[in-house]
Chain A
Amino acid sequence: MKSSWWKILGVALLLYAFIFGLLMPLKPGIYAVTPDNAITGTTSLIRVEGYNTNFTKEAESIKVWLKLNDTFALMANKIQVIDDMALNASFDIPVQLPIKKRIKNFTLVMDHKVDGASVSPSAVTLTQKADKVDNISPQWTTNPIAGLTIVNKFNFPFRNILYETIRNLYFHVSLWLAMMILFIASVVMSFKHLRSGKPEDDWKSLSLTAAGTLMGFLGLFTGMIWAQYTWGSFWPKNEVKLNMTAVALLIYLAYFVLRGSLENQEQRGRISAVYNIFAFAALIPLLYVVPRLTSSLHPGSGGNSTFGSEDLDNTMRAVFYPAVIGWTLLGVWMGSIMYRAIALKDKILSR
């Protein structure tokens, strides 16, 4: 029992990640804006549907704008709250748009004392049908976006398109990090085996690679499901990170094929240790260098190399890092059971 404290720790961390990762609500946000277009010079009624919002509380503090840029924004002159999740905002849209274009996307900005500020980018397209009037209406600048409320509640961020799937951070991204840690440990064992020649180190390396590969495949499958409902395809075309991951996992599958094809134990240990080190050396550029050189749908690709504060806020970090450690410990646990089975088999055979 004393030596299995890390198993208990791993399970406890995963339990924490599951409970908080699934039960913590999302921040309030804008789910839908209908209609998504309007014609200038008319009074338009725009329906805003919220997510986790409380429109009925302090309803008089709700303000809605159609924002073009920092200078020009049109405030709704009347807001009618339907229920907690829906409201109608009525806009008196001036005849002329404050830019030279006749069609332009406007961002919808909403401020509420209870829920805080929320944004829906490119929510409404305004079309100017009438001819140019000489001067821009003062309505665009009289009520600027100011005094937005910031609510500091312990909630997960609300992201358009992602919505609740932002929780997959703990069940997809953390699997990849766990896989990396397991593979690093496996490479260390491979080096150890090359130096000592002990078969135990080879078995440890094999078990850790098996657990890591399982994590990798689970990461791939969970990512495919996530991609289907956020990017619109199980395997998006030209998504370099997916293709490179497939290559990397095939290299690791070949490791097991290689092991199976070698009969002599000593030879198998040495060759597979060298192969494992080279497989890991190929994994790093495939997963972390190549996707960054080109553009990819994954965050942290095509330039910016780390998770920015926009991708991962502090609330998510508090669950994400324990989840990584938890999945890693679970992987080590799985690997250790496999190692014990291999060691037992060797003991029986050598009797």
Chain B
Amino acid sequence: MKKRVLNFLIIMTLFVPSLMAQVERTDFMRSIGKIYVVVAVILTIFTGIILFLIYLDRKISRLEKQIEKNG
């Protein structure tokens, strides 16, 4: 499972720059008064909050396991 996630991340880091280059060419981000820049910014914040949630989720899962083990 962990390996799969890692593979996905590596593939993403390889692909994202090429995706961005495409965006630069078609100038999607600069269309409609650059509104998609705001969209990208909001998505970044969303991703950050989700990552924090995942971190907390794992932390609390560990606690649950500990409670189960110790009774």
Contact = CB atoms under 8 A, between A and B. Distances in A.
Nearest to A218: B48
Contacts of B48: 214, 217-218, 221
Nearest to B51: A214
Given A214-B52, A337-B56, A344-B63, A229 B37 contact: yes
Nearest to A340: B60
B41 interface: yes
Nearest to A162: B34
B33 A26 contact: yes
Given A337-B56, A338-B56, A345-B63, A175 B37 contact: no
A230 to B, nearest CB: 8
A164 B60 contact: no
B35 interface: yes
Contacts, number: 71
Contact of B37 (A26, A168, A218, A351): A168
B45 interface: yes
Contacts of A172: 41
Contact of B33 (A51, A225, A230, A341): A51
Contacts of A225: 37, 40-41, 44
A344 B38 CA distance: 39
Most buried by B among A218, A344, A345: A218
Nearest to A215: B48
B32 interface: yes
B13 to A, nearest CB: 15
B42 interface: yes
A26 B67 CA distance: 55
Contact of B41 (A214, A222, A348): A222
Nearest to A220: B44
B70 interface: yes
A165 interface: yes
A348 B38 contact: no
Interface string B3-37: 00000000000000000000000000110111101
Contacts of A221: 44, 48
B45 A222 contact: yes
Interface in A207-221: 214, 217-218, 221
A164 B35 contact: yes
A229 B30 contact: yes
Contacts of B35: 163-165
Interface string A109-127: 0000000000000000000
Given A22-B38, A164-B37, A164-B38, A341 B45 contact: no
A351 B33 contact: no
B30 A164 contact: no
A22 B44 CA distance: 16
Most buried by A among B32, B38, B56, B59: B38
Given A163-B33, A165-B34, A221-B48, A341 B41 contact: no
Q: Enumerate the 3 nearest inter-chain pairs by beta-carbon distance, A residue then B residue, closest first.
A: A163-B33, A164-B33, A164-B35
Given A172-B41, A217-B48, A345-B63, 12 more contacts: A26-B33, A165-B35, A165-B37, A165-B38, A168-B38, A168-B41, A171-B38, A214-B48, A222-B41, A226-B37, A229-B37, A341-B56
Interface of A: 22, 26, 31, 51, 162-165, 167-168, 171-172, 175, 214, 217-218, 221-222, 225-226, 229-230, 330, 334, 337-338, 341, 344-345, 348, 351
13 contacts: A164-B32, A171-B38, A171-B45, A214-B48, A218-B44, A218-B45, A225-B41, A226-B37, A226-B41, A338-B59, A341-B63, A348-B66, A348-B67
